[in-house]
Amino acid sequence: MALDINAIRGRLNKLQNTQRKSDNLWKPTPGKHTVRIAPYQFDKDNPFIELYFHYNINNKTYLSPQSFGRPDPIVEFADKLKRMGDKEDWKAAKAMEPKLRTFVPVIVRGEEGEGIRFWGFGKTVYQEILGYIADPDYGDITDPTSGRDLTIEYKSADEAGTSYPTTTIRVKPSTSPITADESKVQGLLEGQTEITDLYSELSYDELKSVLEGWLNPNAEGETKPVSAGLAQPASAPTSQPTEPKAQINAPQKTDEVAAAFDDLFNK
């Protein structure tokens, strides 16, 4: 069997890449920005990467295996709580459910030297961008040669006079190449980072340990040690997808909750 040289080169590039995770992520600052959505090298049919996250469990964020169609013990336990029939249990279960955050590879105009980075956004922005693509007047705005740039206007909550930041999207009327230098297009696209290199998935048992430690803190009031939900250096806090929610409190009826956990996982 012949050695896959391209796979070897890809692995070597990953090992040699010393960039922080935050270097591969882009978050708009207040003001206007122009970006271009690029095809995703690891799924050329769809640049939009839908990931589900559990936010604010012990002040940490965990990537849900549901993102990849795999079982998630936190989701299973939340479903169990909902069936217990108590209003507070139902609220706690609802808060535990993973939330969608969509990522797309982009080139930021004026910062082309940074290469392709990931822009993460919520449901409203996602729907708006998909609406443009579904409109035959715009079509595939991600095409490297005949796509369109996006103008993004980002306002902080204070600027917008709301309780949360706002993002306004406009699509440029004219088409343009992703880069003026056609010889650089292929290298630009192939140099992308895979999203799973930024956000790691814990195993089913590891997530179950996270859940059990959260529900049953030890005598010192700390949860049992487990692997971090998102493997990231402390110097790169911006690599964690943000969700404007308060810390989620674990269900309080300890005996019933413990019994529900045992009934679900220990039988």
Does the pTM surpass 0.85? The reply is: no
pLDDT of residue 256 exceeding 90: no
| Domain boundaries, given as residue ranges, for the chain | 21-265
236 neighbors 69 (Cβ within 8 angstroms): no
**Confidence band of 229 (pLDDT split at 50, 70, 90):** very low
pLDDT digits (tens, 9 = 90+) for 22-36: 789 999 999 999 999
pLDDT of residue 59 exceeding 90: no
pLDDT digits (tens, 9 = 90+) for 113-172: 899 999 999 999 999 999 999 999 999 999 999 999 999 999 999 998 998 899 999 999
Residues 6+ apart with CB under 8 A from 147: 36, 37, 140, 141, 175, 176, 178
pLDDT of residue 239 exceeding 60: no
CATH top-level class for 21-265? alpha beta
